[in-house]
Structure 1
Amino acid sequence: MSSVRPGRRASRAPRCETAGRHAREVRVPAVPARGDEVATAETGDGRLEEFLADPENAALDLTTAAARCTKALGLQHSVVYLADIQQRRLVPLTDVTPPLPVDDSLAGWTYRTQSLRVEESESGGMTAWIPLVDGAERLGVLAVHAPSLTPAVLRRGRALATLLAMMITSTRAYQDSFVRRTRTNPMRLPAEMLRAFLPPRTIGTQHVVSTAVLEPAYEIGGDAFDHSLTDTTLHATVLDAMGHDLASGLTTAVSLAACRNARRTGADLPELVQCVDDALAHWLPDQFCTGVLAQLDLASGMLRWSNCGHPTPLLIRDQRLLVDAMRRDPDPPMGLPSLLAGRQRRTHEIALKPGDRVLMYTDGVTEARGADGAEFGLEQFADYIIRATAAGELAPETLRRLIHSILDSSTSRLRDDATILMFEWSRPAR
């Protein structure tokens, strides 16, 4: 069984399926790679080129820009749906239509599988559901309505999805309209602060995919994750600060900033951890933070990490949990240099094999309790990932369903923040 990771495209022509009484399979013509979609979409009389060439259009709000791009591509109508912060609903950019459930709709199927789906519209004609993706990050879906879904319409629809994904990514950092549309509850101040620091949930290349989830989405206090890429390395971090208040959020924010500052000046792993230690000791001497900080060499698969008072990362290989593969004696939490007694922090390494999945997590995951009062536990945690891997499920979808399973089975709110970061490595072709 093969799978296509986010950011990759199947070499054969994908299929799109319809739902309900109109169900049938439709063969979709081969689609150009993402970077070529805009260039190869037929633009009729050149209106798309005119739209893109006009500098005044750069200042348009997304709703207006989407409408004009749709018209410029000769499409009848389109609707942008964004995933809410917990990835439970797909929320339209405007109130023209109600939100759709991710787990029980054709649009949700498109979001979950990152594949094209089509159906007959209730008002007549056809609707194509197209993934909205920025690199490896799932943003939502695009609904394209047309009298019929010809190959030209589907190519133009994909081109529109590519354009809109770039627009969303470039503007969502400063346009609160996106944030307001994708939130369903008020957010506590510590969570607001930490979310401003978080990277996209999913990043990746053709050789590695890293994805993460964090709950409770609106009430996080001290948990955070970070991942980033250079040409040669994946950097991944999971942090858990003492407490569950604004002070713990500040501790995590300072730790994240110290990590990034050191990383962006070329620090190696021991220097990076030392920078976090120094920052906490200087700015927040009464606070500490546990964490795992890791660096993966993308060419060789060599993984190096430092464990600072944190749960041991898990390695899943060939659909089996290698329980002790990454078990090492942890160092003290960051921010407590006196406990090191003057010695340097330790770093560890392990050679990954293609297809290996590494899980970094906080104890709020394994300590979550179900309706029967039993802890979720390490065994059930790993088993869930293994089963999803065997089923060929995309890594971001695996974590989305896993965290929802934990939340939905809990008798009350989580006892602690629950964060999971998972990455999968594939050896580059020689």
Structure 2
Amino acid sequence: MTRAPSGGTEAPPGRTARRAGWDGRCQAAGHRSRRGGLSTGGDEVSTSDSDDAGLRSFLADPAHLTLDLRTATARCVKALGLRHAVVYLVDLQQRHLVPQTAVAPSVPVDGSPAGWAYRTQSLRVEESGTGGGITAWFPLLDGAERLGVLALCETALTASSLTRGRALASLLAMVITSKRLYEDSFVRRTRTERMTLPAEMLRALLPPRTIGNGNVVSTAVLEPAYEIGGDAFDHALTETTLHVAVLDAMGHDLASGLTTTVSLAACRNARRTGADLPELVRSVDEALSSWLPDKFCTSVIAQLDLVTGVLRWANCGHPAPILIRDQRLVIDAMERDADPPMGMPSLLSPHARRTHEISLEPGDRVLMYTDGVVEARTREAKLLGLERFADYVIRATAGGELAPESLRRLIHSILAMQEGRLRDDATLLMFEWRPPS
């Protein structure tokens, strides 16, 4: 039986958690015992400064920049005076944690100590079910983005080894973020299906699932993960503003993917030149009209002032965003008459585009989505509809979870209702304004 310390997670500072043996996952990964700086045989041994010197030497050597992840992990573990560690990355749909640096089975995100560390972004400690060793699960984070977890396997844990484990997790997260941009091995190991060409094209353009700073966090999911055609999301931060967008192009083929690609590029190009919201939307209209005059794209594009909480948005033929305050849906808070979709339809309209504005309160969450979400069907073959969808949102966000975890649970609930297959692309983007008190 596995067991965690009371409080579920972390060994208290200054107290040594003593066990005699190894975690089964570490044995499967071929761990060999080594002394130096950790408790052995139940006696605590202090870690010498030479371990820090080893890490400094490793980082100062330019050769480490070209090491593969497995070798880099092993050398960092040795330099820090630790025993053994395994990197797990989450799959595309956030259902499994897949080992990257050892031969070991995948671990489910739901119902496992490793998954608990991933879901809560917190340390989790467990005893081995075979042999009595200790495994500490550290979340791997790239800023606000959840990459996976790090399993640190020890016979005993001390405050020092936990601190070094956190340092190792931070260092490896940076290594992974850098290498996965050009090493396809990360992509292959975290996919469970073959991806279609339109989906491959759009996935290459999407930002990280989650971004954030001390004032805000924005997170998004997109399904079906391997067959998307016209849906996309975008979010980015400046010193003062969160920029977000959800897009849905006409059709479900490569042409719709091209429409979304042009829209995303035009949106980013205008944003990066300092364009205000009306000018930004106009840039997308003109780009689609020039390059794809027979195509159009619906969208909600928004800008949140991180200091004041003022949210400005434009609705281009898209479902209205949902405002969640105090874990309750604020009915019609952001319901406005929509303007025409982006592209040629807007240029033919006699009316200028409108910009809407609302003041958020600390802790407010705003959910943006595409119509594929509310057009999903229940098991009784009925449309999900906005009312049922709102109920799903409230239940998914009512547990006090972090925004990325709430959104992960929400999309999985919708997929389960659809028996894992959606009739249309479904994109969800949720951001939470949480300024310092």
Structure 1 vs Structure 2 CA RMSD? 1.8
Q: Could you say what secondary structure the match of 1:424 adopts?
A: strand
Q: Describe how 1:412-427 pairs up with structure 2 within 5 A.
A: 413-427=421-435
* Equivalent in the alignment of 1:69: 76
* Equivalent in the alignment of 1:104: 111
Query: 13, 22, 41: which is aligned to 1:29?
Result: 13
* Equivalent in the alignment of 1:333: 341
* Contact kept in structure 1, 2:86 and 2:102, CA below 8 Å: no
Q: Describe how 1:180-329 pairs up with structure 2 within 5 A.
A: 180-329=188-337
* Equivalent in the alignment of 1:350: 358
CA distance in 1, matches of 2:2, 2:132: 14
Q: Does residue 53 of structure 1 match 2:60?
A: yes
CA distance in 1, matches of 2:229, 2:270: 24
Q: How far does residue 139 in structure 1 lie from its aligned partner after superposition?
A: 0.2
Query: 80, 83, 95: which is aligned to 1:88?
Result: 95
Q: Which amino acid is the alignment partner of residue 68 of structure 2?
A: D
* Contact kept in structure 2, 1:224 and 1:239, CA below 8 Å: yes
Give deviations 1:143-176, integer Å, cap 9, x for gaps: 0001101111111111000000001111111110
Q: Which amino acid is the alignment partner of residue 231 of structure 2?
A: D
Q: Which amino acid is the alignment partner of residue 328 of structure 1?
A: R
Q: How far does residue 260 in structure 1 lie from its aligned partner after superposition?
A: 0.3
Q: How far does residue 342 in structure 1 lie from its aligned partner after superposition?
A: 4.2
Q: Which amino acid is the alignment partner of residue 96 of structure 1?
A: V
TM-score by length of 2: 0.88
* Contact kept in structure 2, 1:332 and 1:340, CA below 8 Å: no
CA distance in 2, matches of 1:267, 1:140: 36
* Equivalent in the alignment of 1:375: 383
- Alignment CA distance shift 1:267-1:338 (3 Å): closer
Q: Mind listing any 5+ residue stretches in structure 1 that lack a counterpart? A: 1-19, 31-40
* Contact kept in structure 1, 2:378 and 2:384, CA below 8 Å: yes
Q: Could you say what secondary structure the match of 2:382 adopts?
A: coil
* Contact kept in structure 2, 1:332 and 1:339, CA below 8 Å: no
CA distance in 1, matches of 2:72, 2:268: 34
* Contact kept in structure 1, 2:2 and 2:127, CA below 8 Å: no
* Contact kept in structure 2, 1:42 and 1:156, CA below 8 Å: no
* Contact kept in structure 2, 1:258 and 1:279, CA below 8 Å: yes
Larger gyration radius, structure 1 or structure 2: 2
* Contact kept in structure 1, 2:285 and 2:347, CA below 8 Å: no
Q: How far does residue 23 in structure 1 lie from its aligned partner after superposition?
A: 4.2
Q: Which amino acid is the alignment partner of residue 5 of structure 2?
A: R
* Contact kept in structure 1, 2:4 and 2:125, CA below 8 Å: no
Higher alpha-carbon deviation: 376-385 or 148-157: 376-385
CA distance in 1, matches of 2:52, 2:269: 49
Count of aligned residue pairs for this structure pair: 401
* Equivalent in the alignment of 2:36: none
CA distance in 2, matches of 1:397, 1:412: 19
* Contact kept in structure 2, 1:88 and 1:102, CA below 8 Å: yes
* Contact kept in structure 1, 2:415 and 2:421, CA below 8 Å: yes
CA distance in 1, matches of 2:107, 2:392: 26
CA distance in 2, matches of 1:151, 1:333: 56
Q: Which amino acid is the alignment partner of residue 250 of structure 2?
A: M
Higher alpha-carbon deviation: 291-300 or 341-350: 341-350
CA distance in 1, matches of 2:126, 2:436: 38
TM-score by length of 1: 0.90
CA distance in 1, matches of 2:249, 2:120: 34
* Equivalent in the alignment of 1:118: 125
* Contact kept in structure 1, 2:235 and 2:245, CA below 8 Å: yes
* Contact kept in structure 2, 1:42 and 1:73, CA below 8 Å: no
CA distance in 2, matches of 1:396, 1:367: 23
Q: Which amino acid is the alignment partner of residue 228 of structure 1?
A: A
Q: Describe how 1:131-146 pairs up with structure 2 within 5 A.
A: 131-146=139-154
* Equivalent in the alignment of 1:6: none
Q: Which amino acid is the alignment partner of residue 306 of structure 2?
A: L
CA distance in 2, matches of 1:93, 1:328: 47
Give deviations 1:158-216, integer Å, cap 9, x for gaps: 10000000011111111101001100110000000000000000001111010000000
* Contact kept in structure 2, 1:188 and 1:219, CA below 8 Å: yes
Q: Does residue 152 of structure 1 match 2:136?
A: no
CA distance in 2, matches of 1:335, 1:377: 27
Q: Mind listing any 5+ residue stretches in structure 2 that lack a counterpart? A: 15-47
Identity of aligned pairs, percent?
71
* Equivalent in the alignment of 2:31: none
* Contact kept in structure 2, 1:107 and 1:141, CA below 8 Å: yes
- Alignment CA distance shift 1:338-1:238 (3 Å): closer
Q: How far does residue 413 in structure 1 lie from its aligned partner after superposition?
A: 2.2
* Contact kept in structure 1, 2:218 and 2:235, CA below 8 Å: yes
Q: How far does residue 43 in structure 1 lie from its aligned partner after superposition?
A: 6.0
CA distance in 1, matches of 2:158, 2:420: 49
Higher alpha-carbon deviation: 330-339 or 204-213: 330-339
CA distance in 2, matches of 1:378, 1:343: 28
* Equivalent in the alignment of 1:7: none
Higher alpha-carbon deviation: 106-115 or 303-312: 106-115
Give deviations 1:282-324, integer Å, cap 9, x for gaps: 1111110000000000000000000000001111112221121
